[in-house]
Amino acid sequence: MQMQSTRPCADRRARRPGGRHAHDRDVIETVVTGLFGVTAEALRGRTRGARRTAFARQAAMYAAHVGLGLSLAETGRMFARDRSTVAHACRVIEERREDPMLDLVLMAVENACGDREGVRP
């Protein structure tokens, strides 16, 4: 006999990529695709893609985690990636924050995330 969970799934959308944070993902994608010159389809791709695309995705994951204050797991779900991939992305971006141009780009992404009602980067 198989046991069924007694805990109902309160928010099934959280299981889909983006889930309840789909609007946040859309805002981040819009800013990142414009600043990094990649397509949203490439950013959402299941494979790593070109170096430029992978780095843009890492910046987007960093913005979601740091700018929106999402957990690594929530950010991973948003981008259909594992939380360890998000942690790696955050480390990569933090190591490169000393590049003034990259820092300006990341500030723009974080500000766009922080423009949501009641949220500060």
pLDDT (tens digit per residue) in 12-21 = 333 444 456 7
Cα(97)–Cα(83) distance, integer angstroms = 21
At residue 16, the pLDDT reads: 42
User: Smallest Cα–Cα separation from 103: which of 114, 93, 113, 89?
Assistant: 93
Would the pLDDT of 89 be above 90? yes
Q: Where are the chain's structural domains? A: 20-114
pLDDT per position as a tens digit, 22-65:
788 888 889 889 989 999 999 888 888 899 999 999 999 998 89
Give the residue with greater pLDDT, 16 vs 111. Answer: 111
At residue 114, the pLDDT reads: 64
Global pTM reads: 0.74
Would the pLDDT of 10 be above 50? no
Would the pLDDT of 91 be above 90? yes
Cβ atoms within 10 A of the Cβ of 108, count?
A: 15
CATH of region 20-114, choose from 3.40.50.150, 1.10.10.10, 1.10.1750.10, 3.40.50.410: 1.10.1750.10
At residue 117, the pLDDT reads: 45
